[in-house]
């Protein structure tokens, strides 16, 4: 039904339905005065990095994936990537001689890169930034979200260190379009109906928000929390005991709801609603590299349920199991297909707003799971940590991103200032640690 070619011979690559969702969100972010839906994934590197080899690899990457050097273009109602043949941008930030704190220099440089974007028609889909330090450097992959999802960025890193690059250059396709093609018209309509019912159900309760939001241009800030390997093992065991092995992310969401409930949010309504993306990519599959292949699910609980930890996890597990059992996880896909024919402004509203006009999502959430690279090194340097960044809409102006690397759970709190106060984020962090470790004396 929607099987159009991803790459035409004119070098124009149309967005898939999931990319279009991210483009609508990009427009919402720009309407707030910020620089669109940009994300960052940074590797902490220890030891000597062979910069020449890295730059050579970027040229090879570009040759294999021309859409990585392109600009967004609109043709009629279709948006897509028009190849421009410029090199993939690579910027190097030497450490100033008289800098106070190197960690602060690196952190502020990263934030400044994301806070100083360009207009939509000038936004490079992917850029690399090398930020020097003393023993540790940061290599930041900065991407424009309509280009690809976080798993795609991980695949680009895999490609750079892989000796078998042909694995990543095989057939390119949209998993969303592929899924749509599997269904008959009747099945598609049934899915769309399921999606509407699911959304209506979520919209019965108005969501709490950390800020009323939208006061004009703001600055992205980020606070990182890393757990020890021992703490991470404890958290994983607690997750399994509390919600079972199949509900890993639900444990994080429940703990986050509890922390937000305990700390309190600026706009208090009926419930906390946490939207999260599920990825249609198969774990470890090397293709497709480009494109977003995600759909949306929600976890929602009223305050009366959140108050009781045991009751909350029962509620969330049941909600999640029901969603999967009833096939509601795929039910947004037909709507994403229809969304391509809406104006971006209308689509943005549909995606964000509840019937009553409030923001549906109380917070942005992501769990990218355990990150494993094919090699521990990248062009001679050892990969010793990862960081995540994303610009978001206002409201909710607050994103909590979970990920695990080398057996350690990491949380990145991304938030917009002055919408969100950093003291409040520190309070949420302290309370979330207690909830994850189920220990009020955890700190």
Partner 1 sequence: MEIRTPLRQFVLTELIYCDDINVFDDDEDLLEAGLDSMGIMRLIMFAEREFKVTLPDTEVEPDSVRSINALIGWIEEHRK
Beta carbon of residue 168, minimum distance to partner 1 (angstroms, whole number):
12
String of contacts with partner 1 for each residue 362-391, x by CB under 8 A: -------x----------------------
Stretch (H or E) spanning 126: strand 126-131
Look-up of token digits 């001679």: 380
Does 228 participate in binding partner 1 (rule CB under 8 A)?
Answer: no
Structure tokens at 338: 């229809």
Q: Would strands 294-302 and 271-279 be described as parallel, antiparallel, or unpaired?
A: antiparallel
Question: Rounded to the nearest 5°, which phi and psi values hold at 257?
Answer: -60, -45
Structure tokens at 318: 């049941």
Under 8 Å between Cβ of 147 and 81:
yes
Considering only 4, 8, 282, 422, the residue that binds partner 1 (CB under 8 A) is 282
- Closest by Cα among 250, 227, 226, 223 to 389: 223
Instruction: Compare residues 124 and 436 and give the one whose CB is closer to partner 1.
Output: 436
Instruction: Compare residues 34 and 299 and give the one whose CB is closer to partner 1.
Output: 299
Instruction: Compare residues 111 and 321 and give the one whose CB is closer to partner 1.
Output: 321
Instruction: Compare residues 54 and 155 and give the one whose CB is closer to partner 1.
Output: 155
Does 247 participate in binding partner 1 (rule CB under 8 A)?
Answer: yes
Does 233 participate in binding partner 1 (rule CB under 8 A)?
Answer: no
Residues between 286 and 305 with contacts to partner 1, criterion CB under 8 A: 286
Does 242 participate in binding partner 1 (rule CB under 8 A)?
Answer: no
Q: How many residues bind partner 1 (CB under 8 A)?
A: 19
Under 8 Å between Cβ of 351 and 29:
no
Residues between 302 and 361 with contacts to partner 1, criterion CB under 8 A: 317, 320-321, 324-325
CA-to-CA dists, residue 87 to 22, 40, 58, 65, 147, angstroms: 24, 19, 8, 12, 16
Does 185 participate in binding partner 1 (rule CB under 8 A)?
Answer: no
DSSP codes of every residue in 268-335: --SEEEEEEEEE-SPTT-----SB--EEEEEEEEEHHHHTSHHHHHHHHHHHHHHHHHTTGGGTTHHH
Does 166 participate in binding partner 1 (rule CB under 8 A)?
Answer: no
Instruction: Compare residues 112 and 322 and give the one whose CB is closer to partner 1.
Output: 322
Does 189 participate in binding partner 1 (rule CB under 8 A)?
Answer: no
Structure tokens at 283: 């774990």
Considering only 245, 341, 423, 440, the residue that binds partner 1 (CB under 8 A) is 245
Region of 209 please: left (phi>0), alpha (psi -120 to 50) or beta. beta
Does 246 participate in binding partner 1 (rule CB under 8 A)?
Answer: yes
Distance of CA 151 to the CA centre of its chain: 9
Does 184 participate in binding partner 1 (rule CB under 8 A)?
Answer: no
Considering only 11, 66, 212, 244, the residue that binds partner 1 (CB under 8 A) is 244
Beta carbon of residue 199, minimum distance to partner 1 (angstroms, whole number):
20
Sign of CA dihedral 398, 403, 405, 411: positive
Does 407 participate in binding partner 1 (rule CB under 8 A)?
Answer: no
Cα gap 378→51, rounded to integer Å: 10
Q: Which stretch binds partner 1 (CB under 8 A): 62-70, 213-221, 279-287, 331-339?
A: 279-287
Considering only 77, 283, 357, 440, the residue that binds partner 1 (CB under 8 A) is 283
Beta carbon of residue 256, minimum distance to partner 1 (angstroms, whole number):
16
Considering only 278, 377, 430, 438, the residue that binds partner 1 (CB under 8 A) is 278
Cα gap 100→86, rounded to integer Å: 36
Interface with partner 1 (CB under 8 A): 167, 244-249, 278, 282-286, 317, 320-321, 324-325, 369
């Amino acid at each position: 039904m929607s099987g159009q070619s991803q790459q035409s011979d004119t070098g124009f690559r149309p967005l898939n339905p999931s990319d279009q969702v991210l483009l609508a969100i990009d427009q919402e972010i720009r309407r707030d005065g910020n620089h669109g839906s940009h994300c960052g994934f940074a590797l902490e590197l220890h030891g000597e990095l062979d910069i020449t080899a890295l730059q050579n690899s970027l040229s090879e990457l570009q040759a294999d994936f021309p859409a990585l050097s392109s600009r967004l273009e609109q043709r009629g109602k279709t948006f897509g990537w028009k190849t421009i043949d410029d090199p993939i941008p690579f910027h190097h930030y030497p450490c100033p001689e008289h800098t106070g704190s190197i960690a602060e220099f690196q952190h502020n440089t990263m934030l400044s890169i994301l806070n100083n974007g360009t207009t939509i028609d000038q936004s490079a889909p992917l850029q690399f930034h090398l930020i020097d330090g003393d023993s540790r450097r940061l290599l930041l992959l900065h991407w424009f979200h309509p280009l690809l999802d976080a798993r795609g960025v991980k695949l680009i890193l895999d490609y750079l260190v892989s000796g078998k690059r042909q694995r990543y250059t095989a057939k390119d396709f949209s998993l969303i379009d592929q899924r749509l093609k599997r269904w008959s018209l009747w099945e598609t309509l049934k899915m769309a109906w399921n999606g509407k019912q699911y959304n209506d159900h979520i919209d019965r309760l108005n969501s709490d928000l950390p800020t009323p939001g939208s006061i004009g241009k703001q600055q992205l800030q980020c606070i990182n929390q890393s757990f020890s390997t021992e703490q991470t093992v404890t958290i994983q065991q607690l997750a399994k005991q509390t919600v079972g092995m199949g509900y890993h992310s639900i444990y994080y969401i429940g703990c986050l709801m509890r922390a937000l409930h305990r700390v309190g949010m600026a706009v208090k309504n009926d419930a906390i609603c946490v939207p999260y993306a599920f990825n249609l990519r198969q774990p470890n599959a090397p293709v497709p590299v480009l494109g977003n292949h995600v759909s949306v699910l929600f976890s929602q609980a009223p305050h009366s349920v959140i108050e009781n930890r045991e009751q909350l996890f029962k509620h969330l597990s049941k909600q999640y199991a029901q969603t999967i059992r009833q096939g509601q996880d795929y039910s947004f896909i037909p709507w994403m297909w229809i969304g391509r024919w809406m104006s971006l402004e209308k689509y943005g509203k549909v995606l964000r707003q509840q019937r009553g006009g409030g923001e549906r999502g109380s917070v942005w959430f992501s769990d990218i799971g355990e990150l494993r690279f094919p090699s521990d090194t990248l062009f001679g340097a050892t990969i010793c940590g990862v960081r995540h960044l994303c610009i978001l809409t206002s409201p909710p102006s607050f994103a909590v991103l979970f990920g695990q690397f080398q057996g350690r759970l990491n949380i990145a709190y991304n938030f917009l200032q002055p919408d969100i106060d950093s003291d409040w984020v520190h309070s949420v962090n302290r309370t979330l640690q207690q909830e994850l470790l189920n220990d009020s004396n955890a700190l």
